[in-house]
């Protein structure tokens, strides 16, 4: 599918049929998420992928018992760094230097721009900024899934504290922000599977100046 056909095909799937997604498709979706844009390129979050059915049952209890978690194939959880440290910025500078074959000292102004910005912000504001980055990655993942012919449901309805405990995120310095369930639609149970997509018409959506 081209991207427009894929986006017309996709929808927030409510019921899934339990079929497991081929690993090659999962890998492509995850690689798209890895390549998603992020402010400064820092990607201040981790992505947790869950396919264990028993673990999904535990998570389902903390996600308003939404059936996708029991009927889908893979859960993708986006979790921000609870606190961004100077070491994390230094590690990113080292990665940039090694990837591009340049001395890390040449990135001193870049580091100052990043750390100067983040260290001057209240932690709550940094967390909001980080959460926005996860939504960019989520959007990339949803689009990639559609192009792979895989259904995906973004999920915000969950108990973050309980879900984090189940996934062991606090000890990793992580905090969940949004989920994405991957699977295949069950056209016999999902009333929206064949419904027409409803979006504002372009003349009402776009303001061209």
Q: Is 67 left (phi over 0), alpha (psi -120 to 50) or beta?
A: alpha
Report the pLDDT averaged over residues 50-78.
97
Domain boundaries, the chain: 3-85+122-205
Distance CA 32, CA 187 (A): 27
Containing H/E element for 182?
A: strand 174-183
* Token output for 94: 């080292």
pLDDT confidence of residue 150: 98
pLDDT in tens, 70-121: 999 999 999 999 999 999 999 999 999 999 999 999 999 999 999 999 999 9
Helix (H, G, I), strand (E, B) or coil at 30: helix
Report the pLDDT averaged over residues 10-28.
98
Q: Higher confidence at residue 63 or residue 1?
A: 63
* Token output for 70: 């029991």
- Asked whether residue 1 carries a pLDDT value surpassing 80, the answer given is no
Q: Mean pLDDT across the chain, nearest whole number?
A: 97
pTM surpassing 0.85?
A: yes
Pick from 4, 151, 148: nearest CA to 76 = 151
For domain 3-85+122-205, give the CATH superfamily: NADH Oxidase (3.40.109.10)
Helix (H, G, I), strand (E, B) or coil at 66: coil
* Token output for 24: 């090659």
Pick from 18, 29, 17, 14: nearest CA to 149 = 29
Distance CA 105, CA 96 (A): 11
Distance CA 128, CA 134 (A): 10
Query: Contact at 8 Å (CB) between 124 and 80?
Result: no
pLDDT in tens, 142-198: 999 999 999 999 999 999 999 999 999 999 999 999 999 999 999 999 999 999 999
């Amino acid at each position: 599918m081209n991207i427009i056909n894929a986006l017309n095909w996709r929808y927030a799937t409510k019921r899934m049929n339990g079929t497991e997604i081929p690993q090659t498709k999962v890998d492509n979706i995850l690689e798209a998420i890895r390549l998603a844009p992020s402010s400064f390129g820092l990607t201040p979050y981790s992505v947790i992928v869950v396919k264990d059915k028993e673990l999904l049952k535990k998570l389902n209890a903390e996600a308003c018992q939404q059936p996708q978690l029991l009927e889908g194939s893979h859960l993708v959880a986006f979790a921000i760094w609870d606190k961004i440290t100077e070491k994390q910025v230094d590690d990113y500078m080292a990665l940039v230097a090694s990837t591009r074959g340049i001395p890390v000292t040449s990135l001193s102004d870049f580091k100052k721009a990043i750390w100067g910005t983040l260290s001057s912000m209240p932690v709550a504001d940094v967390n909001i900024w980080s959460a926005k980055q996860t939504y960019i990655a989520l959007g990339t993942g949803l689009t990639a899934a559609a192009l792979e012919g895989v259904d995906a449901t973004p999920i915000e309805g969950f108990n973050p504290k309980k879900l984090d405990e189940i996934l062991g995120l606090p000890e990793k310095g992580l905090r969940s922000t949004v989920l994405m369930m991957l699977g295949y639609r069950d056209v016999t149970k999902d009333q929206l599977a064949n419904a027409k997509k409803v979006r504002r018409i372009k003349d009402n959506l776009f303001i061209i100046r």
